[in-house]
Amino acid sequence: SASPTSGRILSHMPSLSGASLRSAAVLVMLSTAAHAFAPCKTLSPTAFSQARREAVSPSLRQAGGVTSLSMASLERTVLREGDGKTFPQKGDMVTCHYEGRLARGNSKFDSSYDFGEPITFQIGEGQVIKGWDQGILDMSLGEKCQLDVPPFYGYGPRGDPPDIPPMSPLVFDIELIAINDQKAS
């Protein structure tokens, strides 16, 4: 069914019926939708990164606790290079040390270092959050990275109470220490 606006516009057109009327209504709705998006400004990747950095409160930027508050993309920053040739594949058993922090406020919520034992799991099989399943696949054996995990790659709208509020971007320092039986040197 046509919206009231498209009906008014179509009433000024020559007589149309059936499929022609529906096609004209769709064209009017599409052009109206396209017009609604016309004022949007496309940002270059550099301008987008700058705008995102400026959106972070100055106190958090000053504290150095937040490197990214992206709501859409998983970001990995290499802190220590790995061997550069041995990468996990979906289904491999990986062993990692990690520390997890909330991006907002930089408060630690979990750490394998605190327990003195790394975590071992099968990568790419949904045993950990989506951000880990995807981000660790890009790490080479022995690498340590910072993984900035947006909410939908983390715990999403439910969060993980009481430590992780809903829609929380997360920051993990992850060290890939073994893939299957092969350990980092």
| Catalytic position from the list 123, 129, 174, 177 | 129
Q: Is the Cβ–Cβ distance between 60 and 147 less than 8 Å?
A: no
- Measured between alpha carbons, how far is 165 from 152 in angstroms, rounded to an integer? 13
- Six token digits for residue 35: 């017009």
| Catalytic position from the list 155, 174, 177, 179 | 155
What single-letter DSSP state applies at residue 169? -
| Catalytic position from the list 110, 138, 163, 173 | 110
- 110 given a catalytic annotation: yes
Buried b / exposed e over 164-181, threshold 16 CB at 10 Å, is beeebbbbbbbbbbbbee
| Catalytic position from the list 109, 121, 152, 173 | 109
What single-letter DSSP state applies at residue 160? B
Q: Is the Cβ–Cβ distance between 107 and 101 less than 8 Å?
A: yes
- 172 given a catalytic annotation: yes
| Catalytic position from the list 123, 136, 153, 172 | 172
- 153 given a catalytic annotation: no
| Catalytic position from the list 92, 98, 133, 148 | 98
- Six token digits for residue 183: 């350990």
- 109 given a catalytic annotation: yes
List the catalytic residues: 98, 109-110, 129, 155, 172
